[in-house]
Amino acid sequence: MKIRLMILLLFAGCLFANPMLSGSKIKEERKCVINASILSPVVAQLSIIQKDLRKEIVVRSRSSERSQTGVIFLVMGMVFLYGVIHAIGPGHGKIIAISYFMGEKANLLKGIFFGFVFSLIHSTSALILFLSMKAFAIVAPFVGASKYEILMQKFSFYLVAAIGAYMLIKALNDIRSNSVEQDTVNGVILPFTLGLVPCPGTLLFLAFFSSIGLFWFGILSVFVIALGMAVSLSIISIIVIIFRDKVVNLIGSKTRGVFSSLLSISSAIFLIIIGLLLGYSL
Amino acid sequence: MGRVILILLLLSLLFAHPHSFIDYETTICFDDEGVSGVQTTWYFDEMFSSFVEAYDVDGDRIFSDAEVKVLKAEAFDNLKEHNYFSKFYIDGKIFYPTFIKDFKPFFVEDKIVYSFFVPCHVQATAMPKEMIVMFFDPTYYIHVDPVKKEAVSFENDHNYSVVVNREKRKQDAYYQNVIVPAGFRVRFSKK
């Protein structure tokens, strides 16, 4: 049972393109113009912190004092911090969130909402995947599961492109009618769509806690990681919302509308491109 | 503030992040002709190790031949497509290993360790030759770093003069040019 579950998890890892487990040749070496000297130390440092945190979490969770209240709080505190840092690092749809909030006028609550909805769905979908696999390992062979999940990921990215297309049409309609219609739908659909892709980091925590007999720790960690990620993503969204407002306000009132429309159009086009590229690249 | 936003924006261009970690060490092996290959040891982080641990079916913390066979097939052989995360330069020319030998997984405390030999023959002469050894995962799913202590050692090198330098290989930056791998420049010649 244990080995079947683990093997299944490993197979599920394929959907996250784990090169240890995935036989597909990666589409690598796509160089772009980012200057390595700016980002490299930041990304490296984030990775080292995550690595150290994970090590501490493993050590504390395996220790004989792990059932003590203080240790539980300490471990969950570290899990929370891991979530915060994990979400600052590459990934987690931040480019899409940034693009969306650059294109749409939004209040701060909407930014917070985005961060929390995305994180909750992102982590919960990992939990659902984990529990499904656990059940799946008992009743049926797992072959084909990864293909299904890759399809889901593709669907998620193509949906982002579709949201971009919707935003583009809306922006063009706003220009034609010379009015700005507030977007209420995409602010909900977008984080939900992005979150559908399960978080591999969360899945690792679940599998780890489960493997050492702390299943409920694993379940708790899902929501603690989600909370950590939500804090980071909400802050990033808020920064973008404030930044957009400041930039738009800097523009003279006569051209403000044109500038705002240009932002909306370029953001929408960007979402279309990024959604199609990501969907295609899987 | 502008700089912070710029960094956040640039960071966001990336679409994955490390989910596992490998610390590695290598031994450059010599024979009568020169370099014969690179003995490689990977130490996985404790959390990822808890996955691979499942391949120790009987839980005796030793991988039997049968367990190794399954583990290798399911959680190692795929790396052939990724050149076993290795990229070497031999006298300035890139060399991607396509096969390995003597794969052996084992436990070191709570970590799973993979050990294997990467054949790579480079004949030594009286004139110094140069080899650069790097290990990294170009997908950045796994963050690969040399161990903190001496990551490179030598075996059977008594007939050779060998010098090694560790360097940051900006020219080999990967993952949208953001991650700069560590590389080991090895110069060797016959004594």
Say if residue A42's pLDDT is above 90.
no
Cα–Cα distance, A58 to A101 (Å, whole number): 37
Mean pLDDT, to the nearest integer, of A161-189?
76
Cα–Cα distance, B152 to A119 (Å, whole number): 41
Cα–Cα distance, A77 to B180 (Å, whole number): 31
Chain A hits for B147, Cβ within 8 Å: none
Q: Are the Cβ atoms of A24 and B81 closer than 8 angstroms?
A: yes
The reported pLDDT for the residue numbered A80 is 95
Chain A hits for B140, Cβ within 8 Å: 90
Chain B hits for A24, Cβ within 8 Å: 81
Residue type, A173: N
Q: Which tokens go with A77?
A: 């505190």
The reported pLDDT for the residue numbered B158 is 92
Please write the tens of the pLDDT for every residue from A131-159: 877 776 533 333 333 455 566 667 777 88
Label residue A10 by pLDDT band (50, 70, 90).
Answer: very low
* Low-confidence residues of chain B: pLDDT under 50: 1-16
Q: Considering the entire predicted model, what is its pTM?
A: 0.75
The reported pLDDT for the residue numbered A90 is 65
Q: Are the Cβ atoms of A21 and B16 closer than 8 angstroms?
A: no
Q: Are the Cβ atoms of B47 and A57 closer than 8 angstroms?
A: yes
Give the chain A residue nearest B81 (alpha carbons): A25
Label residue A70 by pLDDT band (50, 70, 90).
Answer: confident
Q: Are the Cβ atoms of A20 and B143 closer than 8 angstroms?
A: no
Cα–Cα distance, B13 to B177 (Å, whole number): 11
- Specify burial of residue A264 (Cβ count, 10 A radius: 0-12, 13-18, 19+): buried
Please write the tens of the pLDDT for every residue from A85-129: 888 876 656 777 787 887 777 888 888 998 899 899 888 988 888
Q: Are the Cβ atoms of A90 and B12 closer than 8 angstroms?
A: yes
Cα–Cα distance, A219 to A223 (Å, whole number): 7
Size of the A and B interface in Cβ pairs below 8 Å: 172
Say if residue A1's pLDDT is above 50.
no
Contact (CB, 8 A) for B129 and B91: yes
Q: Nearest CA to CA, how far is B90 from chain A (Å)?
A: 20
Mean pLDDT, to the nearest integer, of A241-264?
80
Q: Nearest CA to CA, how far is A204 from chain B (Å)?
A: 7
Q: Are the Cβ atoms of B50 and A86 closer than 8 angstroms?
A: no
The reported pLDDT for the residue numbered A258 is 78
Residues pairing with B71 in the sheet: none
Q: Give me the helix-helix angle, A69-88 and A215-250, nearest 10°.
A: 40
